[in-house]
Amino acid sequence: MNDKVENSWKKVYGFCGELLHRSQANSGARSFETAQVYPQFRTFSNKNPLDSHFMEYSPPPPSAQTHFHDEKIHIILAASGSVATIKLPNIAQALSRHHNVSIRIIVTKSAERFLDGQSLEQPSLEALRAVPGVEAIYRDEDEWKNPWTRGEPILHIELRKWAHLLLVAPLSANTMAKMTMGIADNLLLSVIRAWDTTGMVDGNLKTKKPLIFVAPAMNTAMWNHPITGKQIEILEKEWGVNNSSKDGWVSVLRPMEKHLACGDTGNGAMMDWEAIVCVVEQYIGVQTRRRSNITG
């Protein structure tokens, strides 16, 4: 990697550019590294014995009005079904270090399969819920917990109102395709579809238009497929927020090249999770501490 490349990373991702550039440069060496495992997951990494317990992790829909004055930054952290879902606990833990951050997690059905307490780097949802700052974990079932009656809050709408930002890391090829087509057939996609893209609908609740950050993660052949380019174009050119257009509401955290878990080598791996955290921290204005192990 030369200076020109590093400068282009910096241009796109500002302060985090160098971190991104370096993680990209070292991605080969880091590819088989075990994810950093936080001590608390060692205690809670058992399989969840009773599926119905999951229900306890998701309190009733957060009333956006109630949380309006808590002076916290509300982050929805979501994962769709990619192997990179195993980085979700690291991201949650890193963001939860900030006392003024409140996190609610959404997992798609496929994403759930990667966090079932099967290994230390794949804690159960129960363990994830125990991370301070993680207030709830929502699954598709939570949207339809009880038959709806007039006056009842609707989960995906309340989550949308509550959130100052949504980070989808990883964004699977499937969810990316549905997102760009406007399909809303699960909880995560319903939140995305109901997003306040102008900032006018929830203007009374927020001072800043909320953004959606997405970190695509997929097999190299999936990434290279021509349909991916079309969808990325929608996300970046039509809906993207950048220096020249403040009309957008989506920021794509582009994947990187490495040796993928499936055995292929090439582009499509989710951006380094620490770089993702850095971008989000920079956006929400909390201090970023340079992590020493980023160079691998």
Ligand X SMILES: Cc1cc2nc3c(=O)[nH]c(=O)nc-3n(C[C@H](O)[C@H](O)[C@H](O)COP(=O)(O)O)c2cc1C
Q: Which residues of the shown chain bind ligand X in the complex (CB under 6 A)?
A: 80-84, 108, 110-111, 172-175, 217-218, 222
CB of 198 to ligand X, least distance (A): 26
Q: Are strands 211-216 and 116-119 parallel, antiparallel or unpaired?
A: unpaired
Give the integer Cα–Cα distance in Å for 35 and 59: 29
Please state the closest distance from residue 271 (CB atom) to ligand X, in A. Answer: 13
- Nearer to ligand X by Cβ, of 45 and 231: the residue is 231
Residue closest to 212 by CA, chosen among 175, 174, 267: 175
Q: Token pair of 102, please?
A: 């409140």
Q: What are the residues whose beta carbons fall under 8 Å from the beta carbon of 256, sequence distance 6 or more?
A: 23, 24, 27, 267, 269, 270, 271, 272
- Those residues with Cβ within 8 angstroms of residue 31's Cβ, 6 or more apart along the chain or in another chain: 258, 259, 260, 269
Q: Could you tell me if 60 and 146 are in contact, meaning their C-beta atoms sit under 8 angstroms apart?
A: no
Write down the catalytic residue from 16, 21, 74, 156: 156
Q: In the complex with ligand X, which residue's Cβ is closer, 67 or 109? A: 109
Of the pair 1, 262, the CB lying nearest ligand X is at 262
User: DSSP state, 61?
Assistant: P
Residue 73 C-beta: closest distance to ligand X, Å: 26
- Closest-CB residue for ligand X? 81
C-alpha 204: how far from its chain's center? Answer: 25
Q: 21 catalytic, yes or no?
A: no
Residue 105 beta carbon to ligand X: minimum distance, rounded to whole angstroms: 14
User: 197: burial class by Cβ within 10 Å (0-12, 13-18, 19+)?
Assistant: middle
Of 80 and 122, the one with the shorter C-beta distance to ligand X is: 80
Whether 16 is catalytic is no
d(CA 40, CA 4) in angstroms, rounded, equals: 41
Choose between 17 and 81: whose C-beta lies nearer to ligand X. Answer: 81
Instruction: Report DSSP state, residue 236.
Output: I
Question: Known catalytic residues?
Answer: 156, 262
